Structure 1
Amino acid sequence: MARYFTPGFILAFLVVSLAIVFGGPIRPATAKMSLFKGQTVYVPVYSHIYSGDRERPFYLAATLSIRNTDRNHGVIITAVDYYDSDGKFLKHYLEQPISLGAMATLRYVVPESDKSGGSGAKFIIQWRSEHPVAEPLIESVMISTKTQQGISFTSRGRVLEAVIP
């Protein structure tokens, strides 16, 4: 009895299948990537969420993470501002602009005990660069481990304004 599924056949099948699924040859991310010289970014942060029929608050610690994804150039973070659920300004997390090197990361923490932001808290981050760069990855991570089962989730930033070279 002949073997229909030889190793060569299986390999060829996988290569053709992957080419169909991914639409052709794999290209580097830079082929479609936009470059920027600055942005204003809105990042949702949840100081607390609600549970149950009585909407009992569940308090969370939040970490804002600003990751420079550009491999060659740094960026300047010019503002990290915290607002509450009503859009009222609460706090400047940055006293003066700070340089963030290529592939470097900054973090800012809203402690679990800080309930001032509410469930609709947010950060507004502004950054700029002298060179066109890949946009930073800006997101928040919320976590609480007070119960037997901890809770954690992330929220990604959304660009409000961009400076295109």
Structure 2
Amino acid sequence: MRLFSHHYLAIALILLVSCQSSENLPKSQPATTQATPFQKIVTLDKNFKIATTETIYVPVYSHIYHHNKQEIFNLAVTLSIRNTDLTNSLVLTSVRYYDSDGKLVKKYLEQPIQLDALASTDFFVNRNDTSGGLGANFIVEWVSQTKISEPIVEAVMIGTDYQQGISFTSPGRVIKKQNNRM
């Protein structure tokens, strides 16, 4: 009986989300530096000694095809960046969103932001923003002043329509790494 009621609860949640009009959803935001109480905007001057730098590629999907490729299912994208180090901070220097043709769609940071130990941040692409296309991606760049554990960078895609819902994650992959001797 408990399984049965959980099934109806899940259906009710999907219906609630899918009944929201897509016209009432917020449009994509202009490029801004997003800083929360756990982060602070930083300036990388000559006194900032870089020990580690990484560039991470994160594949994302602004839509997928369904019904034999006859229809497009739009998806909202949340890029999540989590500092996994227990004691040290990292600095996000760039978060850029590219479309299927490799053209820059949006820069999410105007200035670097610091993620303290175990802090996280996220960046959002509205489900109505299909500018990225099926082959969209984020490029995330970060630096640290000491050797730290690598952050977790992944995207979560979700969409609901017609009493159907889909969600999945896409992990980031390091495409460039440099460790400087200190």
Q: Deviating runs (4+, > 2 A) in structure 1?
A: none
Tell me if 1:128 matches 2:117: no
Q: Unaligned stretches of 5+ in structure 2?
A: 1-50
Structure with larger Rg: 1
Cα separation, 1, equivalents of 2:68 and 2:170 = 25
TM-score by length of 1: 0.76
Is 1:80 paired with 2:98? Answer: no
How many percent identity over aligned positions?
A: 53
How many pairs does the alignment contain?
A: 130
User: Structure 2 matches for 1:63-142, cutoff 5 A?
Assistant: 63-142=78-157
Other-structure match for 1:28: none
SS of the equivalent of 2:79 reads: strand
Q: Distance in 2 between matches of 1:140 and 1:147?
A: 24
Query: Which of 59, 84, 91 is residue 44 of structure 1 equivalent to?
Result: 59
3-state SS of paired residue (1:113)? coil
Q: Distance in 1 between matches of 2:174 and 2:70?
A: 31
Alpha-carbon shift at residue 53 of structure 1 (Å): 1.9
CA distance in 2, matches of 1:141, 1:72: 27
Tell me, which stretches of 5 or more residues in structure 1 are unaligned?
A: 1-35
TM-score under structure 2 length normalisation = 0.69
Q: CA RMSD in A?
A: 1.1
1:54 CA drift (Å): 3.7
